[in-house]
């Protein structure tokens, strides 16, 4: 076992932790608890964070708890979250309070309705004050300690006066959080062009960058309207097969590489990543698609040697006559 796999999350000895996703943005954290056993199914829990009491989801590989202790290492956690940065606080995030009851779930639904009213009120104040910002969503923390408003803006916004008015209106702490287009899709997205719910809402644990290189490698259409998602950025699904395409592409020779096949010597002019076929152009100008296993890559020295059946050059003829 490598040294990296032996590294465990920074948990205080003799303390038990559970992995919980909480909040509208799906933040992850390890929460201290004193339960002797952990349910083997996904369960709603009430936890205490720096923002107050919150409802969360008990997640992760629930079979990796021993006597109530979370046993996954940091490397195993990264593997679970697709080798990305899971935004996981390795130190204690907060404390587990209790397993959620039907009353807690009912209260959560009630707070969702209240949050919609609070968002409408915030939008009204923004319009009255003429602030260059778009209110995207509102989150009323389960314990009532604060209200968080998510907004979008092209630049920085001085919202101090807005916070004062909202605090006077609802007599609680107000927090304004600026987000980007991908976070907006995570909060509001519904159904994508494929007919499925947005991946960022349904199962993606971490939003990784997607670039045009992935679309070009997969021979996808470059029409922005077809490869852009709800957020207006490149679709996250372009990343799903990128590792496979990258590995297969490494196995293919580069263009203009000299190769030998059953038909003779030629050079690579094109390649197909998925089928692992290369287009070979022979010296007589003919082209043929050949499988990767049917070609022999020639070293530069061999590629530059003249063919045995080719006529001798003028210099060679003069040397032979001498």
Q: How confident is the model at residue 73 (pLDDT cuts 50, 70, 90)?
A: low
Give the whole-angstrom CA distance, residue 287 versus residue 69: 63
For residue 218, what pLDDT is reported? Answer: 85
Is the per-residue pLDDT at 201 higher than 90?
Answer: no
pLDDT of residue 55: 93
- The predicted pLDDT at position 5 comes to 40
pLDDT for res 158 = 92
Residues 134 and 150: their CA atoms lie apart, in Å, by 9
Residue 148, pLDDT score: 94
Q: Which residue from 5, 186, 206, 199 is spatially nearest to 88, judged by alpha carbons?
A: 206
Closest alpha carbon to 86 in 68, 74, 99: 74
Q: How many residues does the structure list for the chain?
A: 322
Is the pLDDT score of 79 beyond 70? no
Q: Lowest-pLDDT range, 56-65, 69-78, 184-193, 232-241?
A: 69-78
Query: What pLDDT, on a 0 to 100 scale, did the predictor assign at position 314?
Result: 42
Q: What is the mean pLDDT of residues 48-76?
A: 77
* pLDDT tens per residue, range 253-290: 999 999 999 989 999 999 999 889 999 999 888 899 99
Q: How confident is the model at residue 98 (pLDDT cuts 50, 70, 90)?
A: very high
Q: Which tokens hold the place of 96? A: 């587990």
SS3 269: strand
CA 36 to chain centroid, in Å, comes to: 34
pLDDT at res. 301: 66
pLDDT, greater one: 81 or 75: 75
Domains of the chain: 3-100 (no CATH), 105-179 (3.30.300), 183-239 (no CATH), 252-304 (2.30.30.140)
Q: In what order do the strands lie in the sheet with 134-140?
A: 134-140, 146-152, 173-178
Q: How many CB atoms lie within 10 A of CB 140?
A: 24
Please give the full DSSP string across 162-228, using - where no structure is assigned: HHHHHHHHHSSEEEEEE--HHHHHHHH--B-TTSSB-HHHHT-SS-----HHHHHHTT----HHHHB
| pLDDT (average), residues 173-195 | 85
Average pLDDT value for the chain? 81
Q: Which residue has the higher pLDDT, 29 or 136?
A: 136
Residue 13, token pair as written in the block: 């000895």
CA distance 232 to 69: 42
Please tell me the predicted confidence (pLDDT) of residue 300. 75
């Amino acid at each position: 076992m490598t040294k990296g796999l032996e590294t465990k999350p920074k948990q205080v000895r003799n303390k038990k932790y559970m992995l919980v996703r909480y909040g509208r943005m799906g933040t992850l954290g390890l929460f201290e608890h004193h339960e002797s056993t952990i349910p083997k199914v996904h369960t709603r829990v009430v936890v205490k964070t720096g923002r107050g009491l919150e409802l969360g989801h008990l997640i992760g590989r629930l079979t990796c708890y021993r006597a109530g202790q979370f046993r996954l290492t940091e490397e195993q956690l990264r593997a679970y979250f697709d080798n990305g940065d899971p935004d996981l606080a390795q130190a204690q995030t907060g404390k587990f309070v209790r397993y959620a009851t039907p009353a807690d779930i009912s209260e959560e639904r009630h707070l969702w309705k209240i949050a919609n009213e609070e968002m409408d009120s915030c939008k009204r104040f923004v319009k009255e004050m003429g602030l260059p910002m778009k209110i995207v969503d509102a989150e009323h923390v389960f314990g009532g300690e604060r209200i968080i408003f998510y907004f979008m803006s092209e630049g920085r916004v001085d919202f101090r006066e807005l916070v004062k008015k909202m605090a006077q209106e609802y007599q609680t702490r107000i927090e304004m959080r600026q987000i980007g287009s991908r976070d907006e899709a995570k909060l509001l997205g519904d159904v994508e062009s494929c007919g499925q719910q947005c991946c960022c809402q349904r199962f993606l644990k971490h939003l990784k960058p997607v670039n045009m290189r992935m679309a070009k490698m997969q021979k996808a259409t470059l029409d922005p309207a077809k490869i852009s998602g709800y957020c207006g950025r490149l679709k996250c699904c372009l990343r799903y097969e990128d590792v496979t395409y990258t590995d297969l592409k490494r196995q293919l020779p580069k263009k203009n590489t000299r190769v030998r096949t059953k038909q003779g010597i030629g050079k690579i002019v094109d390649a197909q990543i998925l089928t692992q076929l290369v287009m070979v152009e022979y010296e007589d100008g003919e082209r043929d698609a050949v499988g990767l296993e049917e070609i022999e890559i020639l070293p530069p020295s061999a590629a530059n040697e003249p063919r045995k059946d080719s006529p001798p050059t003028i210099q060679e003829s003069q040397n032979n006559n001498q």
